[in-house]
Amino acid sequence: MGNDDSVSDLQRRLDLLPPDLERSYDAILDTLDPFYFEHAAQYFKLMGAWKGPPSALMFSFADEDVNFGLVQPIGQISEDTMKARLDTVRRRINSRCKGLLEITDMNLYSTEPQAPADDPDSLDYDLAVHRVQYLHKSVKDYIEAPGMAQKLDSAVGNFDCYLHLCSAHLFLTKTLPLASMSAVEMYRLAKIVRTCLEYAAKVSQTGEKTLLAHIDEIHRILTQELRRDLFEEFRDLEIRIKTLKQWIWSGCNPGVPSLIVRTGIVPYVRARLGHGAITADSGNVLKTPDTKQKVKKRDLILSKFRSKQSADSEPQKGWPLLLDALVTRPLNLEMFVCLLDRGADPNIALKKSGTTVWIEVLHRAVSDCIFLADDLTDEEDKWRKWTPIIRTFFDHGATVTKEVYGKVRRRTDGGWLDRDKMYQALVSLKSGDENSAMKHLREAVFVLLT
């Protein structure tokens, strides 16, 4: 139609298309030269990685070099620049994707659902109405089919769509008015940062070096560029998990490392976290050892002999990041292993009824497997997910005594549980007998779930 073809010409062109859609889409992509097909493949990979139809502007940021977000200065972007970017990305999408992807212009006055004003993929609401979408659902199905997905993977090579999305959201963070923010802007900042980190958690191993630089920059922006009072407001927005709030109320505010742990960015934790896996960005939630307690002479000699880096050699202050890993859903075994390998102490005491991180872990495991289980099958499935985590804690010094389990039982308010059977389930698991552990677990809760 742009070439003023007549209706009969359009009908002839339509008749020349293959009869089935898949062959039609093949024919369209086969017209691309190798360079454009590689770029089109990158576009399709980006679309598959995004949580929903992205704004055309954010798509243009993700289409930049992977270090784009790192090298750009902090400052708001002009409306003229945004419009120029919109024109450029529209032409690129048309030339690379031949109509299979398109930019749709949503009507601001339409009654149809639209992008919210606080959408993390938008800088300006008027421009956020321009969204990149598939021409039709059949195009999405075609692109995601196993054969086509493999073809796209071969074409893009080492292109990491998640790293590009992380970079785009890092740049978006830099465009916000960090010196003075309204409540809505603060909410957007929290949403943008979390989205950035969620994409960062999916970056492949080959992109880890660049990933570390991006997370370092996010950390710098939040702790150095954002006003201190605004940073505290940002942290308050991020702490929405009830399990964590009980510790926040005790005067402790987790910082950026906590958010990084909760979003599951294991490479960053492994590379940047100090020994002990305790962040200093917060108050103190750890119980101070009783200095008046008598110390045996033998224990005193042993304490002097231990390494200066030992977690037992001197009191620790701060926030144990194991608490953040504990509330992550789905559970991230790799994160638990990483934190414990970095010296996190499962038996460290917290400022609440003499509990420890280890007791909190068992409390969550028992609660998930018992209180939140729909039936015996669901209970066993949940137990299998917790089993490798509990065994990892055993491997790093966690113990099961009747005193420990007694505290777990009180934390879960599980007066109806068979205490001995539940205790035996944990003991069997510690010894490596998972079948016996499952048997004792069934017996411990048989009355409730039958």
For residue 421, name the pLDDT band (cuts at 50, 70, 90).
Answer: confident
Specify the DSSP element, H or E, that contains 402: helix 402-411
Residue 390: per-residue pLDDT: 94
0.85 surpassed by pTM: no
Sorted by sequence, the CB contacts under 8 Å of residue 366 that are 6+ apart come out as: 408, 412, 414, 417, 422
Angle of the 434-444 helix axis to the 376-395 helix axis, nearest 10? 130
Give per-residue pLDDT as tens, 281-300: 555 556 654 444 444 444 43
> CA separation (Å) from 238 to 34, 49, 100, 234, 262?
45, 24, 38, 6, 10
Give per-residue pLDDT as tens, 152-163: 999 999 999 999
Mean pLDDT of 300-323: 52
Mean of pLDDT over the chain: 80
Mean pLDDT of 32-57: 94
In the predicted structure, residue 7 carries a pLDDT above the cut 90: no
In the predicted structure, residue 200 carries a pLDDT above the cut 60: yes
The b/e string for 170-183 (b: 16+ C-beta within 10 A; e otherwise) is: bbbbbbbebeebee
Instruction: Give the Cα-Cα-Cα angle 323, 232, 68 (nearest 5 degrees).
Output: 90
Residue 371, token pair as written in the block? 């209180």
Share of the chain above pLDDT 70, in %: 75
Which residue type occupies 41?
A: A
In the predicted structure, residue 306 carries a pLDDT above the cut 90: no
Torsion sign, CA atoms 425, 426, 428, 433: positive
In the predicted structure, residue 16 carries a pLDDT above the cut 80: no
Give per-residue pLDDT as tens, 209-260: 999 999 999 999 998 998 888 887 777 766 554 455 555 444 445 678 888 9
> CA separation (Å) from 357 to 152, 208, 246, 336, 415?
45, 30, 13, 12, 22
Residue 73: per-residue pLDDT: 95
Residue 13: per-residue pLDDT: 65
